[in-house]
Structure 1
């Protein structure tokens, strides 16, 4: 585990050097993946790393966990409350759609959640420009493979150091790094709405996705879910598409 952490830290340091930036920042959600990345960037750039807390209709417990993560690793931090910004933008959009009779109530929960993710991305890049930092993402191998991230939201980053680490491996790294137990053991959730959990939304478990990615046998039903998620989200892992030159 020490060797793995050292290699990830060295890789991050190499990205700083090659890109000509001064440091790294990450959005700290209170979840295990962002906690691990927070610790990694602090090790990679002790004097030039930043953890950003961005409440926006957030669960108070997630806020508390994010603060504990920051305190535990000693990283510099800033909090930008996006609640009012989100409310203004989302309400304005809904009002305009209602006037045009184009509002789709069935899609409003997802639109709301994705807007929050993209506001956070915009905030991170504004801060990154200010500090001359790179934005570091938190997606692990399971999330990347299944596309369980918002395009140009939490997927809108410069670096994804955990992209080859399964959820189980992220948990082991977290323990090694001294991430608070309440963060390591909490139910994975993007905090998008009340009662939302990653696994309920995906329709399968991280444990089964990890096994699938490691080439192990899993129930056929879960295999089909994982493969469908991967196919349907291929566009999230690609640059913007264009037609053939003609």
Structure 2
């Protein structure tokens, strides 16, 4: 079978968007919150979430925080501001470098590259909750199903949120929703990046492109096919399919609450 013959189930367009908007509206109402706060990274996931929140709640109830560091590109900031302007939502730019630079001075153990990389989303999470708490709002996360399953997020960082509207959508489905919502083309088309270090891209770090990854995850978890059969259908090395499955299994702890031993 050719990879092109394997399709991720298409969403029902506008009904799917209405369901996502209804989810956001219901959760905000149930929590007694006055609105939402989200991080505007300049990427497609945060843009889609911003569009959904604005349409669900109205622009006055959405605050978008742009939280750049020196490893983010000027284009990231520009795209985040572009989304805020299109949606007419309140936004604020807070450079997090001064906060990052304090940690090596305060902590005895020297950091490596990954320690500093994970520090950035955790600091962003703190800034988001600072605003959410002071304004009686919910923090809306931007993680999608592909990244959640692969553990491609920082625990208690970008994974720290009250709700995750895109959590059941594969990355390729997020692209589909983005086109329907009218997210600017340049945001949809650019290479996804968390901006954790210069030149970093999500697909390079995952070691696989999103289209191929989504097809593997779909066959593995939606269709319940074995790694052998997936490798055959996808015409990929079995070792690569096993690598994906192992990463998903090892990442389960990141999407679950902390484990509690049963004593009673």
User: Scaled by the length of structure 1, what TM-score is found?
Assistant: 0.91
Matching residue within 48, 52, 56 for 2:69: 56
- Does residue 1:24 correspond to 2:36, yes or no? yes
Matching residue within 130, 146, 171 for 1:142: 146
Shift of 1:185: 0.3
Q: Secondary structure at the match of 1:236?
A: helix
Match of 1:206 in 2: 210
Whether contact under 8 Å (1:203, 1:225) holds in the other structure is no
Q: Give the Cα separation in 1 of the matches to 2:83 and 2:216.
A: 30
Shift of 1:92: 3.2
Q: Give the Cα separation in 1 of the matches to 2:123 and 2:35.
A: 22
Q: Give the Cα separation in 1 of the matches to 2:47 and 2:105.
A: 32
Q: Give the Cα separation in 1 of the matches to 2:166 and 2:207.
A: 22
Q: Secondary structure at the match of 2:208?
A: coil
Q: Give the Cα separation in 2 of the matches to 1:198 and 1:154.
A: 14
Shift of 1:156: 0.4
Q: Secondary structure at the match of 2:205?
A: helix
My pick for the range that moved more, 183-192 or 197-206, is 197-206
| Matched length | 236
Structure 1: unaligned runs, 5 residues or longer: 98-102
Match of 1:74 in 2: 88
Match of 1:110 in 2: 114
Q: Secondary structure at the match of 2:112?
A: helix
Shift of 1:243: 2.2
Q: Secondary structure at the match of 2:242?
A: helix
Q: Give the Cα separation in 2 of the matches to 1:51 and 1:82.
A: 15
Structure 2: unaligned runs, 5 residues or longer: 1-12, 220-229
Shift of 1:213: 2.7
Q: Secondary structure at the match of 2:25?
A: helix
Q: Give the Cα separation in 2 of the matches to 1:84 and 1:116.
A: 11
Q: Give the Cα separation in 2 of the matches to 1:90 and 1:45.
A: 40
Shift of 1:242: 2.6
Q: Give the Cα separation in 2 of the matches to 1:69 and 1:90.
A: 34
Tell me the C-alpha RMSD between the 2 structures: 1.4
